[in-house]
Amino acid sequence: MSLATDTADQPTLYKRIRADIEKRILTGEWPPGHRIPFEHELVARYGCSRMTVNKALSELAQADLIERRRRAGSFVRRPQHQSAVLKIADMRAEITSLGRAYGYELIGRKLRAATAADRDRLGVKKAGKVVAITCRHSADNVPFAVEDRLIDLASVPDAATADFSREPPGSWLLHHVPWTEAEHTISAIVADDRTAEALDITVGAPCLVIDRYTWRSARTITAVRLLYPGDSHRLVARFKGG
């Protein structure tokens, strides 16, 4: 039998190049406007032919994550649409890209055996352990969103010992577990006592809710609910049509 390696099964080379770059963009390590390495530099780094690098970059361009300019190079695009809004897993990147100061605060963290509700939320059947995290993100010291997250320890055992008091769980996950698929559900609720206090709004005020469920090759990773003040936050998505 074969044990899963640390970095899991290696996809093809061009996919690895694509994922490497995508990760740096999504985590904000390479911010909008940043010039990514030239093709010939990536060729040298990965020891492959130019066509392989080109394929990776072409796909990123098709996904509107980067913009390619002849003679100048390839540049990270500013998040502007569908992909950005719903793909962004890193709140820090979302807030700093708005030109605001990012703040983070851990409210609660519990390690427990998965309850029936937990299993339902994660979409798993077997009872295992989970980490439940509640935290708050702020922009310019104003509450921006509260996050209520569940991580399946069967898929991400390291999360049991990770320190979420400094690093938001979204960022931590992004750096430790490359995501493959996600589903978002957007809805609206009115703030209850707990939410109102966390977001510093009045009870009964509208809130935008984003539920994101993330998995990786049929393996559940995390389920997160983000609550935004409904009257101050906007999700903007822009499309080009045919």
Provide the binding-site residues for DNA, judged by CB under 7 A: 12-15, 36, 38-40, 47-52, 54-55, 57-58, 61, 68-74
Residues 72-111 that bind a copy of itself (CB under 8 A): 82-83, 86-87
Query: CA–CA separation, 129 vs 112, rounded Å?
Result: 6
Is residue 182 part of the contact set for a copy of itself (CB under 8 A)? Answer: yes
Q: What is the DSSP letter of 158?
A: G
- Shortest Cβ distance from residue 56 to DNA (Å)? 8
Position 207 contacts a copy of itself (CB under 8 A): yes
| Closer residue to DNA in complex, CB, 56/146 | 56
Cβ-based nearer residue to a copy of itself, 111 or 205: 205
At residue 188, the 3 state secondary structure works out as: strand
Q: At what angle do helices 13-26 and 39-46 cross, to 10 degrees?
A: 120
Nearest to 114 by CA among 126, 132, 134, 130: 130
CA gap 97, 95 in Å, rounded:
5
Binder of residue 87, out of DNA, a copy of itself, none (CB less than 5 to 8 A by kind): a copy of itself
- Is the distance from CB of 36 to CB of 53 less than 8 angstroms? no
Residues in the site for a copy of itself, rule: CB under 8 A?
A: 11, 15, 18-19, 22, 26, 59, 62-63, 82-83, 86-87, 178-190, 204-209, 228, 230-231, 233-242
